[in-house]
Amino acid sequence: MTAHHDDAVTARKDRLWVAGALGVLLLAVPALRKWQLRWGADHHEVIAALAGDDLIAEPDLVATRAITITAPASQVWPWLAQLGQARGGFYSYDVLENLVGCDIHSAERIVAAWQHVEVGDEVKLHPDVSMAVAGLEEGRALVLRGAVPMGKAAAPYDCTWAFVLRDRPDGSTRLVMRERYGYSRRWAGLLIEPVEAVSFVMSRKMLMGIRDRAEAGRAQHETTRTGGRHAGA
C-alpha cells in the first residue's frame, strides 16, 4: 500500500515536472524565435523599409539581422560583391555547407575578378542552386532572389535576401541583412521554419565573418597608410 502510494506520488511529480518543463518551453520558444529573427538589429532597422522589400510585398516570414562594422561602407562592399559559390563564398561555416555538397571556400581576401556585379547575375549557393541579383545599388545594397526547387517541382515559396550598408556618424557601418519569404503553398511554412532556424546560425556567422574581414582590411590599410606617411616624413 505504501509502495503503491509512493509510486503514485512519484508519477504525479513526474507529470507535474514534465508539464512545467513543457510550459517553460512553450513560453521560451516564441521569445527565442523573435530573438533569432532579429539578431543584432534594433527596432528601427526591423521596421525600416529596405532595398528589395517591394519584391515580396506581403511576406509570410521576415528575418532582419544586423551588425556594426568598424570600417567605412567602401571597405565592406567588396566582401558583399564577391559573394557566391565558386567566388568569395559566404564567410560562414564552410565545413557545414560542404557537408551537403556546396563546395564553399570562403575568401580571406578581396579578388578583383569577382567585384563586378550586375542585376540578373547568378549567385550560386551550391553548384546546382543559385539566386539572381534582383536589386543593386553599387556600394550600398545587394538584393538576391530565388528559391531552392524540390526535385523537378518548383519551390513552394519565393525568397529575397538583401544586404544593405548604412553609414554611422562615427565612421563605422551597419550591415543589415534581411530575408523575406512569401509562401505559394499553405504548407510551405513547415519547410521554411526549420530552414530559417539553420539560416540564423549560418547568417550570424556570416555577419561576423564579413565584419572580421572588413575590419582586418581596414587595420591593414591604416597601417600601410601610416607607415607610408612616416616613411616619407
- Average pLDDT over the chain reads 87
Whole-number pLDDT of residue 222: 58
88 vs 97, 104, 106, CA distance in Å? 14, 8, 5
pLDDT in tens, 141-189: 999 999 988 777 889 999 999 999 999 999 999 999 999 999 999 999 9
Q: Average pLDDT for residues 46-58, to the nearest whole number? A: 97
Structural domain spans, the chain:
1-37, 40-232
Q: Which three cell numbers stand for residue 208?
A: 561576423
Q: pLDDT digits over 94-119, tens only? A: 999 999 999 999 999 999 999 999 99
CATH homologous superfamily for the domain 40-232: START domain (3.30.530.20)
CA angle 31, 34, 35 (to 5 degrees): 85
pLDDT in tens, 203-212: 999 999 999 9
Per-residue pLDDT band for 89 (boundaries 50, 70, 90) equals very high
Q: Are 69 and 172 in contact (CB under 8 A)?
A: yes
Contact 145, 134 (CB under 8 A): yes
Return the closest-CA partner of residue 116 out of 82, 143, 84, 146.
82
**pTM score, two decimals?**
0.83
Contact 157, 184 (CB under 8 A): yes
